[in-house]
Structure formats: structure tokens, C-alpha cells
Amino acid sequence: VSATELTKESFKQIKNTEDDVQAFLTLNEEAALKQAAALDQSGIQDDQILAGIPFATKDMISTKGLRTTAASKILKDFKPIYNATVIENLNHAGSINVGKTNLDEFAMGSSTENSGFKPTKNPWDLTRVPGGSSGGSAAAVAAGDVLAALGTDTGGSIRQPASFNGIVGMKPTYGRVSRWGVIAFASSFDQVGWLTKNVKDNALLMEAISGVDHHDMTSANRPVPHWAANLDQASVKGLKIAVPEEYVSDAIDEDVREVVQAALKHYESLGATIDTVSLPHTKYGVSAYYILASSEASSNLQRYDGIRYGFRADDFKNLEDVYVRTRTEGFGEEVKRRIMLGTFSLSAGFYDAYFNKAAKVRRLIADDFNKVFEDYDVIMGATDASTAFPFGDKITDPTKMYMNDVLTIPVNMAGLPAMSLPAGFSKKDGMPVGLQIIGKPFDEQTIYDAAYAFE
């Protein structure tokens, strides 16, 4: 098939599903079709390994000349003047960006209900959330609009929506993928990754966006393996799997636990060994994360002041008033909550009690993982304690929403790579359930291999 046919097919499916699902904030139809036509005319170059493949991009990632909003009113008409490095890499590989997907404003949330524009629906059941914050990307893949969509994961925002939508979501090791041009939420946690239909696509696409970037000093100067070409199902034989008791505990819904336990049994039947371990500081992860991530966010979000970017309030009296009105009108409730929490935690007099203490907890959590990885190849457990929940269930109670990420946040605290893999369906509500697979730093291959063997 031609690039034009593929791209047209993608827009056709978007038009079929979008009224219901609402996954996109901006479509890139004209430019995408132009790019496809050019590709069809020039023929495929050797290094265009993704030639003509349509993908979608979370609206947290800058795209030159194409509206980029972070789902915030404060950026509602913002058009970046450059591409994020990941977008440059994908252009280079010949793939085609069909549009920008919805999210929780500035990636703060777990349901996409915090979007400044609209909620996205879960294609499996339109009365339920798609998860978040990469809910638009997950829903676009689940609805069959695209085979792959970019997401970002600061505390679970790729893995949890992947779990809720029955697709593969991979957050690589911190530093594996450049963050240049990715709107900053909590810079020491943020990582870009892919939501895809299957494992092999994910591995192939990840290779295309990974690698050192001199624009991002935290990007890792390490060779990028050919994950997809190296996929090895047989390596599950003898694989040492650790299952933390915290990841299969009573706090996890029974229907989710059932699916996860069955998946673990399947690994055993494939020749893996399974032992129960403990990550004892798991329960402190959420509290420490909300101090640290909000502190970083309060600093990163200072730049939205009505002068430099996007939206500016009308009717201001003086400079200070521009700042105050712009931020009051431009930011949503959850973003304001984080800015206040972060500013408070960093303020003189509270810094030691909050920020410093949370930073120490972060170290303890990383040490928990290091210790388990001395004896095991991968860690497995649930991605999330529940399946996709109904709209309105958690949005009125922020701590309830925060607790949703108890099993994904520790991974970001330690900077580890982790995937959510479709493991089956809940007997209670028929919704998809994800198995989380966590790997050693820069050992994405073992995760991909294990996932490929299951699939």
C-alpha cells in the first residue's frame, strides 16, 4: 500500500470514531497527506524505516507550526517554532503525524478528566475514563485510529492508560529518550514512550526515538539496541521473575488480581521461575511523589506568565496583574493545586520537612528495586489496582485520584523501564487488565522479550 492510502485510512477511522471517543485535540490532515504524497512520489530512502506509518502525538510534545496545548487554556493557541527531538527523529524515519491527542492538563491526572478542553472516552465502554494522563493517545490506539501514539510518563501516564485500554504501553529508562521539546512537568521523572497495539511495533518504534541528544543533558549516551530485531521469546525459559507482594495485595481489586495471577502462571508454564519479594517502601511512593513532582512542576510552570507564551488575559492594570489574571484564568484547578503544593514544599522553613524528606524516600524506593534486581531479571505485578473507572468516580477527590498510581509511581522514582502488557479481561466488568513488567535500568530488551513471549 502507499503512504497516502495508509494515511487516508487513518483519517477515515478517526472520523468514524472521533464523535464518540474524542481522542484528538488537533488534526494534522492537510500536512500529513502532503507528507504522504511526497513520500509516495520520491520513493522510500534506506533510512526511512517507518516510511508512511501514521502515528499520533500526545499534545505535550512540541510540533513545529502545529498547535501544541498540553490540554491547557494557557497554551490554547500556541504554535511551537520547532519540533521536539522525538518528532524530528520520526520525521527522519518517514512516519506521519496525524494529530495531537488529548491529556490531563500538563499531564497532571489519571483519567483525562483534567483536560482544559474535553474528556476523552474509553473506546471499550464510553461511560468509563481512558485513564491518564496519556488518555487520548491510548484511546486513539484502542479505537484503531493509529497503530501507535506517543505518550509521556511521569508517574504512570503511559502504563495506566495502556492498562485501561487493553494495549501495550512502554516507558523506557529515564534518559533513554530525549525530552527536548517535550513540555516539562517534573523533569527528573518525565519520559516519552509509545502506546501500541503490539509488542513488536513498540520495540521498533522505540528504537527510532531513543538515543543521546545534545539538546537534553539528561539523555543517556548509550548505544540503542535493535530491540525488535533481537526479540527472543525463548529467553523466558529460566527467566527469574520477582513478584512484589505489594503489587498483588488485597488493595488490588480481586478481578484484576485474578488476571495477573493467571498471567504469572502462564509465565511459569513457559519455564520462568516466580518468587514473591517485597518492595517495602511502596506505600510511601505516592506521598513523596506529590511533593517532588509538584515542586518541579511549580518551577517549570513559572514560564507561563502571559508574556512569553500563548494566552494573555485582557483588562489588566499593570504587569503584576497580567501575571495574576493570566494564570488565574489560564490554569485549571488541578494545575493550581500542584503549583501551590510545590511552592509550599520548596519554601524556606518547610523545605527540610517536605522536599528533603521526600527526596530521601525516593532513594529508599530506588534501593528497594536495586536489592530485588540483585537476584532477579524482571519484576511483575499489576499495573493498576482497578480497571478503567466510570467518569466522575474519582475527580471530586484528589487523593483518591492520586492513590490510583500507587503501583506505577515508584518506577518513575527509580527511573526504571516498565511496560503495561494486556493480560486479559476482568470477570467483573469485562474491561482490559494490564500486567506490569519492570526491568533493570537500560534493560528494555528483557521486558520486550518477556512481553513478546506472553503475547
Residues of 192-218 as b/e, b for ≥16 C-beta within 10 angstroms?
bbbbbbbbbbbbbbbbbbbbbbeebee
Per the structure block, which three cell numbers stand in for 56?
Answer: 499520533
DSSP labels for 267-324?
HHHTT-EEEEE--GGGGGHHHHHHHHHHHHHHHHGGG-SSSSSS---SS-SSHHHHHH
d(CA 188, CA 184): 10
Q: How far is the CB of 199 from ligand GLN (least distance, A)?
A: 21
Q: How far is the CB of 416 from ligand GLN (least distance, A)?
A: 14
SS3 348: coil
Helix 444-454 × helix 199-209 angle, to 10°: 160
Specify whether the backbone of 107 is left (phi greater than 0), alpha (psi in -120 to 50) or beta: left
58 counts as catalytic: yes
Residue choice 155, 330, 332, 410 for contact with ligand GLN (CB under 6 A) = 155
Among 134, 157, 163, 298, the active-site one is: 157
E strand spans, 330-441: 378-382, 418-425, 432-438
Residue choice 18, 145, 153, 377 for contact with ligand GLN (CB under 6 A) = 153
Residue choice 3, 21, 108, 239 for contact with ligand GLN (CB under 6 A) = 108
Among 58, 100, 200, 440, the active-site one is: 58
Cβ of 91: how many Cβ atoms within 10 Å?
Answer: 17
Q: How far is the CB of 77 from ligand GLN (least distance, A)?
A: 23
Interacting span for ligand GLN (CB under 6 A) from 102-110, 191-199, 308-316, 416-424:
102-110
- Give me the 156-195 binding string for ligand GLN, x by CB under 6 A, dash otherwise: xx---------------------------x----------
Q: Give the CB-side neighbour count of residue 91, counting CA atoms within 13 A.
A: 13
Q: How far is the CB of 155 from ligand GLN (least distance, A)?
A: 3
d(CA 366, CA 163): 24
133 counts as catalytic: yes
Residue choice 279, 292, 293, 437 for contact with ligand GLN (CB under 6 A) = 293
- If the CB atoms of residues 18 and 405 are measured against ligand GLN, the closer one turns out to be 405
Q: How far is the CB of 346 from ligand GLN (least distance, A)?
A: 17
76 counts as catalytic: no
Name the maximum alpha-carbon separation found in the chain: 71
Q: How far is the CB of 134 from ligand GLN (least distance, A)?
A: 8
Interacting span for ligand GLN (CB under 6 A) from 62-70, 87-95, 107-115, 341-349:
107-115
Interacting span for ligand GLN (CB under 6 A) from 27-35, 104-112, 270-278, 363-371:
104-112
Q: Is the dihedral of CA 176, 222, 414, 446 positive or negative?
A: positive
Per the structure block, which three cell numbers stand in for 263?
Answer: 498471567
One-letter amino acid of 330: G
Among 62, 95, 111, 133, the active-site one is: 133
Interacting span for ligand GLN (CB under 6 A) from 74-82, 105-113, 135-143, 278-286:
105-113
Active site residues: 58, 133, 157
Interface residues with ligand GLN (CB under 6 A)? 107-110, 133, 153-157, 185, 293, 405
